[in-house]
Amino acid sequence: MHVKIDVRELRDRITEVLDAVEARERVILTVRGHPVADIVPHAPRGRWLPGGWLAAELRERAADPALSHELDATNAMLS
């Protein structure tokens, strides 16, 4: 479930909005009826990524090795 509220009403209804978010509801802020932002419940997340996982991701998602040579060549042409 979600709640829609116009930004002009937010100040007067802030307690209601916070209660809704605490109840794990999503609040959609609107400006003249058009959605512009979401207020969602806070989700805690870890601060650090595991080193092994990060190293594997970097290896698997590395750019094409030829890209470095192409970028160097392009840079040389532009310089």
As averages over each run of 10 residues, the pLDDT of the chain (79 residues) reads: 87 93 93 94 82 84 78 87
Q: What is the pLDDT of residue 72?
A: 85
Q: What is the pLDDT of residue 47?
A: 77
Burial 12-27 (b: 16+ CB within 10 A, else e): eeeeebeebbeeeeeb
Domains of the chain: 2-39 (3.40.1620.10)
Which two three-digit tokens encode residue 38?
């979401």
Distance CA 50, CA 46 (A): 10
Q: What is the pLDDT of residue 40?
A: 93
pLDDT tens track for 36-55: 999 999 888 777 888 888 88
CA dihedral 53, 57, 59, 65 (to 10 degrees): -160
